[in-house]
Amino acid sequence: MGGIRQSYLVAAASAVSLLRTPAVAAAWDKPSALTEFSVGGLAGHLAHQLVRVDDVLTPNGQPQEPVELLEHYSRSPWVQAGLDHESNLSIRRGGQAAAADGAATLADRAQALLDLQIAALPAEPADRVVDLPWSGWALRLDDFLLTRLVELVVHSDDLAASVGLDTPELPSSIIDPVVELLARLAVHRHGATAVIRTLSRAERAPATISAF
């Protein structure tokens, strides 16, 4: 097994290690670097990325025709919604619920899911399509894993920054596809000129080219 599946597993293992750090447990109830998340809630959201993968790996009848990644993000209400939008409120509530039993329990649950996925992902067909029941559409498994890879990388940085740790160092096999997807999303949202100017001409750069 190689490619995005292996990259996902490496990133997930790194996230579980971060969840186990004493600094995370010590700051559990404190505000995080992410607006309106506690450290525990943010840790719960990070760990939830493994839950999402577990959810889609369970067969659920004949999947729909998959959508492309840019369409997936275009359809997702949280991408450009405000902090008080129901989609983002639900994300924060889910993080807090996952954190309710404390840091050690959350890390143990995430590790158990990772162990199952290490065994399961190599056996999945290359063309596997998975339904996303919380969204109402389907993605190719590898495309879905790329979305989880972005979440793991971004929120690992958020969590590390929240507790004064260095951002986990990850190999180029993880960072490259994450940067590529974020760049594609930024171009889709802001246009190519805005992205090019930000990367090459600071004096003409727009205020933001955030992908989300």
| Structural domains in the chain (count) | 1
Determine the structural domain holding residue 53 and report its residue range: 3-165
Residue 210 within any structural domain of the chain: no
Residue 196 within any structural domain of the chain: no
> The tokens of 158 are what?
């958020």
Residue 205 within any structural domain of the chain: no
> The tokens of 58 are what?
């369970």
> The tokens of 95 are what?
């993080």
- C-alpha 107/C-alpha 24 separation (Å) is 11
Residue 190 within any structural domain of the chain: no
Beta bridge partners of 137: 132
- C-alpha 89/C-alpha 6 separation (Å) is 32
What CATH number is given to the structural domain containing 93?
1.20.120.450
> The tokens of 197 are what?
């100017």
Residue 75 within any structural domain of the chain: yes
Q: What is the 3-state secondary structure (H, E, C) of 166-197?
A: CCCCCCHHHHHHHHHHHHHHHHHHHCHHHHHH
Residue 195 within any structural domain of the chain: no
**pLDDT digit of tens for each residue in the chain (212 aa)?**
469 999 999 999 999 999 999 999 999 999 999 888 899 999 999 999 999 999 999 877 777 899 999 999 988 876 665 556 666 677 778 788 888 999 999 999 999 999 999 999 999 999 999 999 888 899 999 999 999 999 999 999 999 999 999 999 999 999 999 999 999 999 988 999 999 999 999 888 888 888 87
pTM of the shown model: 0.91
Amino acid 155 reads H
